[in-house]
Structure 1
Protein backbone atom coordinates (compact mmCIF):
# COMPACT_ATOMS: atom_id res chain seq x y z
CA UNK A 1 0.00 0.00 0.00
CA UNK A 2 1.30 3.41 -0.92
CA UNK A 3 0.58 6.42 1.33
CA UNK A 4 1.10 10.00 0.17
CA UNK A 5 0.73 13.07 2.39
CA UNK A 6 0.64 16.52 0.82
CA UNK A 7 0.69 19.93 2.51
CA UNK A 8 -2.26 22.12 1.58
CA UNK A 9 -2.71 25.89 1.76
CA UNK A 10 -3.83 27.31 5.10
CA UNK A 11 -7.61 27.49 5.30
CA UNK A 12 -8.19 24.64 2.82
CA UNK A 13 -10.26 21.66 3.89
CA UNK A 14 -8.27 18.43 4.31
CA UNK A 15 -9.20 15.75 1.78
CA UNK A 16 -8.61 12.01 1.69
CA UNK A 17 -8.56 10.21 -1.67
CA UNK A 18 -8.57 6.42 -1.71
CA UNK A 19 -7.61 4.57 -4.87
CA UNK A 20 -8.29 0.83 -4.89
CA UNK A 21 -9.56 -1.95 -7.11
CA UNK A 22 -12.15 -3.33 -4.73
CA UNK A 23 -12.66 -2.09 -1.14
CA UNK A 24 -12.27 -4.94 1.35
CA UNK A 25 -13.58 -5.12 4.93
CA UNK A 26 -10.46 -3.57 6.48
CA UNK A 27 -10.62 -0.61 4.10
CA UNK A 28 -14.32 -0.10 4.77
CA UNK A 29 -13.62 -0.21 8.51
CA UNK A 30 -10.89 2.43 8.08
CA UNK A 31 -13.25 4.65 6.09
CA UNK A 32 -15.96 4.23 8.72
CA UNK A 33 -13.58 5.12 11.54
CA UNK A 34 -12.47 8.25 9.66
CA UNK A 35 -16.00 9.44 8.95
CA UNK A 36 -17.85 8.40 12.09
CA UNK A 37 -18.26 10.58 15.10
CA UNK A 38 -18.45 8.24 18.05
CA UNK A 39 -19.71 9.33 21.37
CA UNK A 40 -16.96 9.67 23.90
CA UNK A 41 -16.68 6.55 26.00
CA UNK A 42 -17.42 7.63 29.54
CA UNK A 43 -16.73 5.51 32.59
CA UNK A 44 -17.51 6.15 36.23
CA UNK A 45 -15.69 5.16 39.44
CA UNK A 46 -17.07 6.38 42.75
CA UNK A 47 -17.49 10.14 42.25
CA UNK A 48 -15.15 10.48 39.26
CA UNK A 49 -15.97 10.59 35.56
CA UNK A 50 -13.36 9.24 33.15
CA UNK A 51 -13.00 9.61 29.38
CA UNK A 52 -11.78 6.26 28.06
CA UNK A 53 -10.13 5.53 24.74
CA UNK A 54 -12.01 2.57 23.20
CA UNK A 55 -8.67 1.03 22.17
CA UNK A 56 -7.83 0.64 25.89
CA UNK A 57 -10.96 -1.42 26.58
CA UNK A 58 -10.55 -5.20 26.88
CA UNK A 59 -14.27 -5.93 27.12
CA UNK A 60 -17.65 -4.70 28.29
CA UNK A 61 -19.76 -6.86 30.58
CA UNK A 62 -23.32 -6.62 31.81
CA UNK A 63 -23.84 -7.76 35.42
CA UNK A 64 -27.06 -7.24 37.40
CA UNK A 65 -28.42 -4.66 34.91
CA UNK A 66 -25.20 -2.62 35.04
CA UNK A 67 -22.54 -2.42 32.31
CA UNK A 68 -18.88 -2.42 33.26
CA UNK A 69 -15.88 -1.39 31.16
CA UNK A 70 -12.81 -3.55 31.76
CA UNK A 71 -9.44 -1.95 30.97
CA UNK A 72 -5.87 -3.07 31.73
CA UNK A 73 -5.93 -2.20 35.43
CA UNK A 74 -9.27 -0.56 36.17
CA UNK A 75 -12.95 -1.33 35.87
CA UNK A 76 -15.42 1.46 35.19
CA UNK A 77 -19.19 1.56 35.19
CA UNK A 78 -20.98 2.73 32.05
CA UNK A 79 -24.41 4.28 31.74
CA UNK A 80 -24.82 2.80 28.24
CA UNK A 81 -26.65 -0.45 27.62
CA UNK A 82 -24.67 -3.34 26.17
CA UNK A 83 -26.61 -3.25 22.89
CA UNK A 84 -25.77 0.47 22.51
CA UNK A 85 -22.08 -0.27 22.97
CA UNK A 86 -22.31 -3.12 20.48
CA UNK A 87 -23.89 -0.84 17.87
CA UNK A 88 -21.53 2.08 18.50
CA UNK A 89 -18.37 -0.01 18.21
CA UNK A 90 -19.31 -2.82 15.82
CA UNK A 91 -17.12 -1.33 13.08
CA UNK A 92 -14.16 -1.20 15.43
CA UNK A 93 -12.58 -4.39 16.75
CA UNK A 94 -15.49 -5.14 19.10
CA UNK A 95 -18.02 -7.94 18.76
CA UNK A 96 -20.68 -9.61 20.88
CA UNK A 97 -19.06 -12.65 22.53
CA UNK A 98 -22.03 -13.70 24.68
CA UNK A 99 -25.34 -12.36 25.97
CA UNK A 100 -23.46 -10.40 28.62
CA UNK A 101 -20.13 -9.56 26.93
CA UNK A 102 -18.80 -7.38 24.10
CA UNK A 103 -15.14 -8.21 23.47
CA UNK A 104 -12.25 -6.28 21.89
CA UNK A 105 -10.56 -8.57 19.33
CA UNK A 106 -7.41 -6.46 19.51
CA UNK A 107 -6.88 -7.52 23.13
CA UNK A 108 -7.10 -11.28 22.50
CA UNK A 109 -3.84 -13.16 23.03
CA UNK A 110 -5.11 -16.63 22.09
CA UNK A 111 -8.31 -18.57 21.49
CA UNK A 112 -9.05 -22.17 22.47
CA UNK A 113 -12.08 -24.33 21.69
CA UNK A 114 -13.83 -25.73 24.75
CA UNK A 115 -16.93 -27.88 25.30
CA UNK A 116 -20.10 -27.67 23.21
CA UNK A 117 -18.71 -25.43 20.46
CA UNK A 118 -17.77 -22.57 22.75
CA UNK A 119 -14.39 -20.83 22.70
CA UNK A 120 -12.28 -19.38 25.46
CA UNK A 121 -10.31 -16.20 24.76
CA UNK A 122 -7.18 -15.49 26.77
CA UNK A 123 -6.73 -11.73 26.88
CA UNK A 124 -3.47 -9.78 27.02
CA UNK A 125 -4.10 -8.96 30.68
CA UNK A 126 -4.39 -12.66 31.59
CA UNK A 127 -8.17 -12.75 31.96
CA UNK A 128 -10.23 -15.45 30.26
CA UNK A 129 -13.52 -14.67 28.53
CA UNK A 130 -15.93 -17.24 27.12
CA UNK A 131 -17.33 -16.90 23.62
CA UNK A 132 -20.77 -18.50 23.21
CA UNK A 133 -21.18 -20.92 20.33
CA UNK A 134 -23.74 -18.71 18.62
CA UNK A 135 -21.14 -15.88 18.40
CA UNK A 136 -18.18 -18.05 17.28
CA UNK A 137 -19.03 -17.53 13.56
CA UNK A 138 -18.95 -13.75 14.12
CA UNK A 139 -15.50 -14.04 15.69
CA UNK A 140 -14.26 -16.22 12.83
CA UNK A 141 -15.54 -13.70 10.29
CA UNK A 142 -13.90 -10.78 12.11
CA UNK A 143 -10.61 -12.73 12.25
CA UNK A 144 -10.88 -13.75 8.59
CA UNK A 145 -10.99 -17.51 9.35
Structure 2
Protein backbone atom coordinates (compact mmCIF):
# COMPACT_ATOMS: atom_id res chain seq x y z
CA UNK A 1 0.00 0.00 0.00
CA UNK A 2 1.27 3.45 -0.88
CA UNK A 3 0.39 6.52 1.18
CA UNK A 4 0.35 10.08 -0.09
CA UNK A 5 -0.26 13.06 2.22
CA UNK A 6 -0.71 16.54 0.74
CA UNK A 7 -0.75 19.43 3.25
CA UNK A 8 -1.67 22.79 1.71
CA UNK A 9 -3.49 25.99 2.74
CA UNK A 10 -5.79 25.64 -0.27
CA UNK A 11 -7.73 22.84 1.47
CA UNK A 12 -10.56 23.77 3.83
CA UNK A 13 -10.96 20.29 5.33
CA UNK A 14 -9.57 16.78 5.31
CA UNK A 15 -10.25 14.64 2.23
CA UNK A 16 -9.33 10.99 1.89
CA UNK A 17 -9.14 9.32 -1.53
CA UNK A 18 -8.49 5.62 -1.95
CA UNK A 19 -7.32 4.43 -5.36
CA UNK A 20 -7.21 0.71 -6.02
CA UNK A 21 -7.73 -1.83 -8.77
CA UNK A 22 -10.44 -3.65 -6.81
CA UNK A 23 -12.33 -3.61 -3.50
CA UNK A 24 -10.51 -5.72 -0.89
CA UNK A 25 -10.94 -6.68 2.74
CA UNK A 26 -8.02 -4.36 3.56
CA UNK A 27 -9.80 -1.40 1.95
CA UNK A 28 -13.04 -2.30 3.71
CA UNK A 29 -11.26 -2.32 7.10
CA UNK A 30 -9.48 0.95 6.32
CA UNK A 31 -12.75 2.67 5.39
CA UNK A 32 -14.37 1.27 8.54
CA UNK A 33 -11.54 2.66 10.71
CA UNK A 34 -11.75 6.06 9.07
CA UNK A 35 -15.49 6.24 9.68
CA UNK A 36 -15.30 5.29 13.35
CA UNK A 37 -15.41 8.13 15.86
CA UNK A 38 -12.12 8.43 17.74
CA UNK A 39 -13.00 6.97 21.11
CA UNK A 40 -10.02 7.13 23.43
CA UNK A 41 -11.42 5.94 26.73
CA UNK A 42 -13.93 3.50 28.16
CA UNK A 43 -15.70 4.13 31.45
CA UNK A 44 -15.34 1.38 34.03
CA UNK A 45 -17.00 1.08 37.44
CA UNK A 46 -15.02 0.15 40.53
CA UNK A 47 -16.47 0.40 44.06
CA UNK A 48 -19.16 2.88 42.97
CA UNK A 49 -16.56 5.09 41.27
CA UNK A 50 -16.30 5.69 37.55
CA UNK A 51 -12.81 5.27 36.18
CA UNK A 52 -11.43 5.93 32.71
CA UNK A 53 -9.81 2.98 30.94
CA UNK A 54 -7.42 3.37 27.99
CA UNK A 55 -7.88 0.68 25.34
CA UNK A 56 -4.09 0.25 25.07
CA UNK A 57 -3.91 -0.90 28.71
CA UNK A 58 -6.68 -3.51 28.47
CA UNK A 59 -5.57 -7.13 28.04
CA UNK A 60 -9.00 -8.59 27.34
CA UNK A 61 -12.69 -8.03 27.99
CA UNK A 62 -15.06 -10.79 29.01
CA UNK A 63 -18.72 -11.35 29.81
CA UNK A 64 -19.71 -13.28 32.94
CA UNK A 65 -23.13 -13.54 34.63
CA UNK A 66 -24.64 -10.88 32.34
CA UNK A 67 -21.91 -8.37 33.26
CA UNK A 68 -18.89 -7.26 31.25
CA UNK A 69 -15.39 -6.81 32.69
CA UNK A 70 -12.16 -5.35 31.31
CA UNK A 71 -8.91 -6.88 32.59
CA UNK A 72 -6.00 -4.51 33.17
CA UNK A 73 -2.85 -5.78 34.93
CA UNK A 74 -4.71 -8.89 36.17
CA UNK A 75 -7.46 -6.71 37.70
CA UNK A 76 -11.07 -6.94 36.43
CA UNK A 77 -13.05 -3.70 36.16
CA UNK A 78 -16.76 -3.76 35.34
CA UNK A 79 -17.81 -1.94 32.17
CA UNK A 80 -21.40 -0.85 31.57
CA UNK A 81 -21.49 -1.79 27.90
CA UNK A 82 -22.37 -4.96 26.02
CA UNK A 83 -19.51 -7.13 24.74
CA UNK A 84 -20.55 -6.72 21.10
CA UNK A 85 -20.62 -2.91 21.53
CA UNK A 86 -17.09 -2.94 22.93
CA UNK A 87 -15.92 -5.27 20.16
CA UNK A 88 -17.15 -2.83 17.52
CA UNK A 89 -15.78 0.20 19.38
CA UNK A 90 -12.33 -1.35 19.90
CA UNK A 91 -11.78 -2.95 16.47
CA UNK A 92 -9.44 -0.15 15.46
CA UNK A 93 -7.42 -0.61 18.65
CA UNK A 94 -6.29 -4.17 17.89
CA UNK A 95 -9.09 -6.07 19.64
CA UNK A 96 -10.58 -9.23 18.18
CA UNK A 97 -12.85 -12.06 19.25
CA UNK A 98 -11.22 -14.84 21.33
CA UNK A 99 -14.39 -16.78 22.14
CA UNK A 100 -18.14 -16.30 22.48
CA UNK A 101 -17.61 -14.36 25.72
CA UNK A 102 -14.12 -12.80 25.29
CA UNK A 103 -12.47 -10.18 23.10
CA UNK A 104 -8.72 -9.65 23.43
CA UNK A 105 -6.12 -6.99 22.67
CA UNK A 106 -3.66 -8.37 20.12
CA UNK A 107 -1.23 -5.56 20.96
CA UNK A 108 -0.84 -6.84 24.54
CA UNK A 109 -0.01 -10.46 23.67
CA UNK A 110 3.38 -11.64 24.90
CA UNK A 111 3.20 -15.25 23.72
CA UNK A 112 0.77 -18.06 23.08
CA UNK A 113 0.73 -21.84 23.32
CA UNK A 114 -1.40 -24.37 21.52
CA UNK A 115 -3.12 -26.69 23.98
CA UNK A 116 -3.90 -30.36 23.40
CA UNK A 117 -7.61 -29.73 22.70
CA UNK A 118 -6.92 -27.24 19.89
CA UNK A 119 -7.50 -24.11 21.94
CA UNK A 120 -4.88 -21.40 22.11
CA UNK A 121 -3.63 -20.14 25.49
CA UNK A 122 -2.69 -16.46 25.20
CA UNK A 123 -0.28 -14.88 27.68
CA UNK A 124 -0.38 -11.11 27.97
CA UNK A 125 2.47 -8.71 28.82
CA UNK A 126 0.89 -8.14 32.24
CA UNK A 127 1.13 -11.84 33.09
CA UNK A 128 -2.59 -12.59 32.75
CA UNK A 129 -3.78 -15.31 30.41
CA UNK A 130 -6.90 -16.20 28.49
CA UNK A 131 -7.96 -18.93 26.08
CA UNK A 132 -8.96 -18.63 22.44
CA UNK A 133 -11.57 -21.18 21.39
CA UNK A 134 -10.82 -23.38 18.37
CA UNK A 135 -13.33 -21.48 16.26
CA UNK A 136 -11.21 -18.30 16.48
CA UNK A 137 -7.64 -19.74 16.50
CA UNK A 138 -7.06 -19.36 12.75
CA UNK A 139 -8.37 -15.76 12.76
CA UNK A 140 -6.02 -14.86 15.62
CA UNK A 141 -3.01 -16.47 13.94
CA UNK A 142 -3.81 -14.69 10.68
CA UNK A 143 -4.20 -11.36 12.46
CA UNK A 144 -0.92 -11.76 14.33
CA UNK A 145 1.04 -12.82 11.25
CA UNK A 146 -0.44 -10.29 8.84
CA UNK A 147 -0.88 -7.48 11.34
CA UNK A 148 -4.58 -7.22 10.51
CA UNK A 149 -6.86 -5.90 13.23
For 1:94 and 1:120, locate their aligned partners in 2 and report how far apart those are by CA, in whole Å.
16
Q: Are 1:35 and 2:35 an aligned pair? A: yes
Helix, strand or coil for the counterpart of 2:103?
Answer: strand
Mapped to 2, the partners of 1:8 and 1:23 lie a distance apart of 32
SS at match of 1:103: strand
Higher relative contact order (Cα pairs below 8 Å, separated by 6+ residues):
2
Structure 1: 5+ residue stretches without partners: none
Q: Which residue of 1 aligns with 2:14?
A: 14
Higher alpha-carbon deviation: 53-62 or 109-118: 53-62
Compute the displacement of 1:5 (Å).
4.1
- Structure 1 CA distance for aligned equivalents of residues 96 and 74 of structure 2: 21
RMSD: 2.7
**1:65-76 pair list within 5 angstroms:** 65-72=66-73, 74-76=75-77
Unaligned runs of 5+ in 2: none
Q: How high is the TM-score relative to the length of structure 2?
A: 0.76
